[in-house]
Every structure is written in C-alpha cells, then in structure tokens.
Copies of this chain bind each other. A is one copy, B any other.
Amino acid sequence: MAANSQFSMAVHVLSMLAASRDENVKSDCIAASVNTNPVVIRRLLGQLAQANLVISQSGAHGGTRLAKCPNEINLADVYSAVACGEVFALHPREPNKDCPVGRNIEAVLCHLQKRIDRTITETLSGYTLADVFEMVEKGATA
C-alpha cells in the first residue's frame, strides 16, 4: 500500500467537481465514486482548499465546489497541492563521508531530483482540468 495515490485521487475528485460546476458536492458522494471513506476525501479536499483549488462549506447543504474554472486549473497545481513525495528517495542512511564518492553523491542526487521534479511540473502544466474532464467524458485515452 506504500505507493502514493494522492494525485490520482485528487484528479478524480476534481473531475467530479468539474462535472457538477457551481453545485456543492458532498464528500459522501465523491467517496462513493472513488470507492473509499468520506474522511479520506475530506482530508484530500483540505489540501486542495489550501491550494485555492476548491471551496468547502460546512453545515447543512454544505459541500465542496471548484474555486476556479476547469480551464484555469492545471495539473501542476494539483501535483504541488497534494505534495507527493519525490520520484526517488535519497539514501535512507547517510553515505560514508570518508569515501570521495559517498561525500558528494547526495548533492548530485539532490540536483537530479530537482531537475526531474521540474520536468514533471512542466509536463503536467500542459494539462488543465478541462482537458482531463474532456478525456473522461469521451472515455478516451488520447
């Protein structure tokens, strides 16, 4: 269960909200589509709200809706909102500093990590929620 599905869930959730523009959608309803517990959804919505992607309302007739138009939300925003881990982890234990390689390898890997993260962000910024929703509606993978 270790791999992180937050991004997948976020895209799913946002697609649900895009399907009901300007209506409050309840966490129970979203949870039913994602097939999980409403609390899991609310936790995720909290992160998306902090990133100003959605707006939630408490109380009766409450729920959540998009804070912007689907074409104003791109997937890079979503990716940074859910703060997924890096693509690859650094060493769990500190390398040996007495070794010329061990001493410097972490800086190099850290640089690579950032480089890749930038690449991912660039790629994701090419997709808006509107694009995703269109794909979902078509049932297409193009």
Contact = CB atoms under 8 A, between A and B. Distances in A.
Interface of A: 1-9, 11-12, 15-16, 19, 32-36, 75, 84-96, 99-105, 107-112, 115-116, 119-120, 122-124, 127, 132, 135-142
B11 A102 contact: no
7 contacts: A4-B89, A11-B108, A34-B102, A87-B87, A100-B136, A107-B135, A108-B141
Contacts of A99: 16, 32-33
Interface of A is mostly: helix
Nearest to A3: B89
B34 A91 contact: yes
Contacts of A136: 100-101, 104-105, 108
B12 A101 contact: yes
